[in-house]
Amino acid sequence: MSIFSKLTWTELKLFGREPFSVIFTFAFPLVVLLVLIGSFEPDDTAFGGARPSDYYLASYIGVVIGAVGLIVLPVHIAMYRERGILRRFRASAVPAWAVIGAQMAVGLVTAVVGSLVLIVAGRLLYDAALPELPFRVLGAFLLGTLTFLSVGFLLAVLARNARAAQAIGMLLFFPMWLLSGAGPPPEVMGSGMRTVSDLLPLTYVVRAIQDPWLGERSEPGQIVLLLALLVISAVIGLRLYRTA
């Protein structure tokens, strides 16, 4: 087995043994999604014509991406750096691309599994709709995941230690979770909240997934914005990682 696949497989097993990661990736989005859908009548008009179950299912896939990228990944990588595990990999001549690649692969796989958990639960319990434009949803999902994984990587490189990474990650994650379209429905948000919402990158991930899910095309501006964030955080993160 190649170094990359061996590392990825080991990291996946470690992910499964870490309650912190499992809770944030699988349990937290699922519980909140089910509570939220259950709180609204199916014909509630606050969702721009969509059913609350369909609207929230699409947004909570964005929440999974946010949790993996902003909390799980940075805490894990910062902990590896803090405890000298990255140094040990370097001393064993493991190429940096394999170390980073394995973390990204684990992030992607767990985000996919976390999203599937939501879709299955949403379908079984609330008969939530499947995506109208599945390929566009898949594209937006991949772009959003890669963008937030590279933001998380940058955060891990910048944080002084795992606790700092966790604090910063939570500080970024919670407002994004509540204001990106996964919290109160847009119709009840005040103008101030909407302005803040427009400034949060997770909002664009949620919209890019939600629009094609509900049958509309995503706005190209959102895609360009996410791509720009992906490239910027990846370039800075990799540069800092090398010199660290």
Query: One symbol per residue from 105 to 134: x for binding another protein (CB under 8 A), - otherwise; what is it?
Result: ------------------------------
Shortest distance in whole angstroms from residue 111 CB to another protein: 21
- Of the candidate spans 34-42, 56-64, 92-100, 188-196, the one that interacts with another protein by CB under 8 A turns out to be 92-100
State how far the Cα of 21 lies from the Cα of 218, in Å rounded to an integer.
Answer: 30
| 143 exposure class (CB count in 10 Å sphere: 0-12, 13-18, 19+) | buried
Cβ density class 83-117: b for 16+ within 10 Å, e for less: eeebeebeeeebeeebbbbbbbbbbbebbbebbeb
Candidate residues 27, 45, 90, 138; the one interacting with another protein per rule CB under 8 A: 90
Shortest distance in whole angstroms from residue 115 CB to another protein: 25
Q: What is the DSSP letter of 129?
A: P
- Of the candidate spans 89-97, 126-134, 188-196, 220-228, the one that interacts with another protein by CB under 8 A turns out to be 89-97
Cβ density class 38-71: b for 16+ within 10 Å, e for less: eebeeeeeebeebbbbbbbbbbbbbbbbbbbbbb
Token reading at 89: 């990999």
**By CB under 8 A, is residue 178 in contact with another protein?**
no
Report the residue number, 1 or 188, with the smaller CB distance to another protein: 1
Computed from CA positions of residues 214, 72, 6, 238, in that sequence, does the dihedral angle turn out positive or negative? positive
Q: Among all chains, which residue has been given the structure tokens 């963008």?
A: 147
Query: One symbol per residue from 61 to 80: x for binding another protein (CB under 8 A), - otherwise; what is it?
Result: -------------------x
Shortest distance in whole angstroms from residue 5 CB to another protein: 9
Nearest alpha carbon to residue 72 among 203, 138, 162: 162
- Of the candidate spans 56-64, 83-91, 115-123, 154-162, the one that interacts with another protein by CB under 8 A turns out to be 83-91
Query: One symbol per residue from 35 to 54: x for binding another protein (CB under 8 A), - otherwise; what is it?
Result: --------------------
Candidate residues 25, 35, 84, 125; the one interacting with another protein per rule CB under 8 A: 84
Chain positions contacting another protein, by CB under 8 A? 1, 3, 6-7, 10, 13-14, 17-18, 80, 83-85, 87-88, 90-94
